Every structure is written in C-alpha cells, then in structure tokens.
C-alpha cells in the first residue's frame, strides 16, 4: 500500500470510527424497548427501525465525506463506486440477539479497494467495545471508552486447548454441514454459541481461538478479514482461501487453522 493510499485509508478509518459510534448510539435508543417493532424481510429474517435508521446514518456520514465511494449495505440498494473504493456495512449484525435484548450484537463497517478488503470495524454498542484494523496499520481494541491497545489473537497452538464459537447451530443442519460442526466441539477444550460479529471479535482480541460460519452474507464478514489478519490470525473460506467472497468462513488464531480446516472437511 502506497503512502498516499495509506493516508486515504486513514481518513476513511477516522470517519468510519465516528460513524459507527453514532450508529451504535442510535441502536441503543431502541435496545430493550418493549415497543420495538420487528418486521420480516422476504427471506423471513427480522429487521427493525434500528437496523434501517443506523444504516441510513452510516450512509449519510460516508457519502458526505467521500461522495465517489460506493456503498453496499444489508437494508438498502447498493450505491456503485466511482473510484474503486466500496464500503460494506451491516448496521446491526445479530438482529436476533438485538430484538431479544442480548448485548452481543454489533455494527460492522468494511472498506474494499478494487474488491480487496483493507479496513474493518466491529463495534459492540451495548458493551461499549470496538476492534478495528487497516492494512499495514495493525489491529486495535478499545474497551469502554478507554485508550486504544493492540488487538492480538490468542497464542494457543492446539485445537484441544481451544475455545470454538459459532452462530446458529441450526444453520449447519440447513446447509448439510452438521457433521463438520459436530467434529469441532469434541476436538476443542470448550465450545459456545457466541456467534455473528461477536464471535470474530473474540478471536481478534484473543478470547476465543476458532469462529466458524456455515452460511454468511458479504456484509456479515467483509470487516473480518483485515481485522483477523492484522491481529495475527487467519481468516479463510473452508478451503483455506483468504477471501470474503464465500458463503462459509472460518477465523482462527493462526497455528491451528489447517487442523481446523481438516475437521471442517
């Protein structure tokens, strides 16, 4: 990455951190609201006023600062890029957690340059934590309004000593990969169903070693590749390719990645 492009990414990272903070605050206005209205999209997945409002806010911040950048989000139509830079946003990743008052949902922002992920943010509004990264600039963790500190993956180097986390177990059944799911818990020290962006957050900050998704959308995982890699881990599809253009993903602390891929196969 050239010095000029690093400056451009740094500018966008600054805007993204501010925008994600504001969007997170907006979601908290609806969090645990007994009158929160939940609608259903065409695929029967839930969506709320908080999802839509937070994405609108993110788009407004991005467009005001970088009008030629493209935007792809979960809730509204894509805005084509005029310069090869595209933002990928998910205002509430973990809407099911959100509507049930579980504080493990996140606001996700990613940036790609010519389809290459170069920046990512995972913000946990209800927990007041954020992890973010940009190519060549490292990964950083901020907890409850404190100072930024480097985000690093766990040093565990054995699957048998690992914590495995994932999203809905039913998704493994739905896509015919339940056998892959069942092999991992028996091979690991511990397994928990802490999924969505929160699961990748745990890997990036060294609190879990393995996060697996059997089916995923682009806006759910575009931020994860730069964050996990800059934190020292690995993020790939189930074949071992470092990509965000995949329906199945796995993130690990690094040394155990190939063994985990073998278990998934």
| Separation between Cα atoms, residue 150 and residue 172, nearest integer Å | 33
Do 159-264 and 3-150 fall under one CATH topology? no
For the chain, state the CA radius of gyration: 17
pLDDT band at 169 (very low <50, low <70, confident <90, very high): confident
Structure tokens at 17: 């951190």
Fill in the DSSP letter of residue 168: -
How far is the C-alpha of 165 from the C-alpha of 191, rounded, in Å?
Answer: 6
- In contact, 70 and 115? CB cutoff 8 Å: no
pLDDT score of 1 more than 90: no
**Alpha-carbon distances of 103 from 1, 130, 169, 197, rounded to whole Å:** 36, 13, 19, 12
Write down the pTM of the prediction. 0.95
CATH number of 3-150: 3.30.540.10
Q: What is the pLDDT of residues 173-202, one digit of tens each?
A: 776 777 877 889 999 999 999 999 999 999
pLDDT digit string, tens, across residues 17-68: 999 999 999 999 999 999 999 999 888 889 999 999 999 999 999 999 999 9
Beta strands in the chain (DSSP E): 38-40, 46-48, 70-73, 85-93, 106-113, 116-124, 129-134, 138-143, 149-150, 163-166, 190-192, 210-213, 234-237, 249-252
Topology, domain 159-264 = D-Maltodextrin-Binding Protein; domain 2 (3.40.190)
Q: What are the boundaries of each domain within the chain?
A: 3-150, 159-264
């Amino acid at each position: 990455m050239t010095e000029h492009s690093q400056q451009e990414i740094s500018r966008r990272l600054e805007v993204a951190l501010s925008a994600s903070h504001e969007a997170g605050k907006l979601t908290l206005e609806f969090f645990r609201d007994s009158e929160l209205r939940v609608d259903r999209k065409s695929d029967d997945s839930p969506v709320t006023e908080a999802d839509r409002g937070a994405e609108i806010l993110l788009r407004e911040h991005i467009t005001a600062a970088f009008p030629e950048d493209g935007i792809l989000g979960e809730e509204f139509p894509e805005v084509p890029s005029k310069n090869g830079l595209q933002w990928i946003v998910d205002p509430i990743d973990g809407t099911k957690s959100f509507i049930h008052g579980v504080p493990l949902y996140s606001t996700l922002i990613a940036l790609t340059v010519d389809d290459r992920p170069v920046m990512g943010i995972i913000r946990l509004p209800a927990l007041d934590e954020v992890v973010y990264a940009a190519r060549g600039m490292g990964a950083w963790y901020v907890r409850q309004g404190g100072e930024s500190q480097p985000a690093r993956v766990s040093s565990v180097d054995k699957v048998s000593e690992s914590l495995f986390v994932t999203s809905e177990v039913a998704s493994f059944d739905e896509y015919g990969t339940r056998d892959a799911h069942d092999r991992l818990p028996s091979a690991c020290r511990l397994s928990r169903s802490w999924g969505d962006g929160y699961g990748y957050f745990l890997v990036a900050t060294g609190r879990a070693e393995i996060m697996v998704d059997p089916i995923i959308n682009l806006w759910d995982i575009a931020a994860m590749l730069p964050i996990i890699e800059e934190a020292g881990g690995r993020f790939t599809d189930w074949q071992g390719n470092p990509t965000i253009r995949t329906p199945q993903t796995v993130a690990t602390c690094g040394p155990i990645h190939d063994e985990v891929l073998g278990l998934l196969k």
